[in-house]
Amino acid sequence: MAETLYCANHPGRETLLRCNKCGKPICPECSVRHPVGLRCRECAQLRRLPIYEVAPRHYVLGLAAGLAAATLAGLAFTLVRGIVFGFFLLLLAGPAAGGFVAQAMNRATGYRKGTGLALMAAVVIALGYLVGAGLFVLVIGFLEFGTLVIPSTQIFADPLALLYLLLAAGSAAALLRR
């Protein structure tokens, strides 16, 4: 007849399970699925990967690098928007800007990933666009290229700019969240 086992963490519970590493009796509640079977919590060593451990200094570094990159991308988008009316070119500009900002933030944070950094990238892209377009408006006053004249207020109320921001924020967040 088999010996009655009791869970090491819950002495009142009968169990038939044992940790496949140390052999300690565990109940289904205390077991952790592992690639090689069920283990106790101590043997499974549950911890986050270092790439997903983001410290406050990483947020500060990511914010600085992301804002600088997003400002450059926003300024470039404002220039391209004034010169080129190509809708498809603008569709490519958003994801490219998002990738540029994500890469800058990756390098500054030591290639850390996480939801917080992804959300910060989305906010930084919006702020960078406003700063870049604002700098352009302050320096130029209004855009005039050939026969095309775009008043400076249109830069901030442009549906294509909203599309650019959505595409850039989405691609940066996707790259930083993986």
Question: Do 92 and 19 share a domain, yes or no?
Answer: no
Question: Do 156 and 68 share a domain, yes or no?
Answer: yes
Question: Do 20 and 56 share a domain, yes or no?
Answer: no
Question: Do 120 and 158 share a domain, yes or no?
Answer: yes
**pLDDT tens for the chain, residues 1 to 178:** 567 889 998 889 999 889 888 899 999 998 888 888 888 888 887 667 788 888 999 999 999 999 999 999 988 887 777 665 567 777 788 899 999 999 999 999 999 998 999 999 999 999 999 888 878 777 765 545 444 445 555 666 777 888 889 999 999 999 988 7
Question: Do 30 and 57 share a domain, yes or no?
Answer: no
Q: Which range of residues forms the domain containing residue 168?
A: 50-177
CB 19 within 8 A of CB 43: yes
Question: Do 86 and 29 share a domain, yes or no?
Answer: no
Number of structural domains found in the chain: 2
Question: Do 97 and 29 share a domain, yes or no?
Answer: no
Question: Do 100 and 153 share a domain, yes or no?
Answer: yes
Total-model pTM: 0.68
